[in-house]
Amino acid sequence: MKSKILVGLQFFIIFLMILPLGMPTTHPYIGITVGVIGVIIGLLAIKEHKSGNFNVRPDIKENCELVTTGIYAYIRHPMYLSVLVMMFGAVIIYFTYYELTLYIFLIITLLIKMIYEEGLWKCHNPNYDAYITKTKRLIPFVF
């Protein structure tokens, strides 16, 4: 139930963020470029998954394997990074304090989701603790 609430909240915030309530900036290409970088990060993450391994919810699927190759060799949550980078592009394009506030709520929601997912992985896979020591959570070599 917790995972459904977190995913629902995440998508609700994203929906609110993409509503064009603010005036586009005079430099929308910067926001679009940032958004495309986010898409590329997401595609790199999806590329590393085996068929049926990917899950939008933080719940661990049956017979799910821990992915530690490609982008996952550097960060544990590249899909969350992808979402954050893409939505930062939206913040750049439609900059308002409303948009920035929603982005902060999105960061908080995804951090809670990451911590919840990591707790599940620790219970599901004994190798996860070793994986944590070799990677960062969200930003390579930083966090």
Residue 130 domain boundaries: 1-18+39-50+64-143
Most trustworthy range by pLDDT among 12-21, 30-39, 132-141: 30-39
**Using CA atoms, how far apart are residues 46 and 80, in angstroms rounded to an integer?**
12
Q: Per-residue pLDDT tens for 6-15? A: 999 999 999 9
Give pLDDT tens digits for 33-77: 999 999 999 999 999 887 667 777 877 777 778 889 999 999 999
Q: Is residue 100 part of a domain?
A: yes
Q: Residue 89 maps to which CATH number?
A: 1.20.120.1630
Average pLDDT, the chain: 89
The answer to whether residue 109 scores a pLDDT higher than 80 is yes
The mean per-residue pLDDT over the stretch 79-105 comes to 94
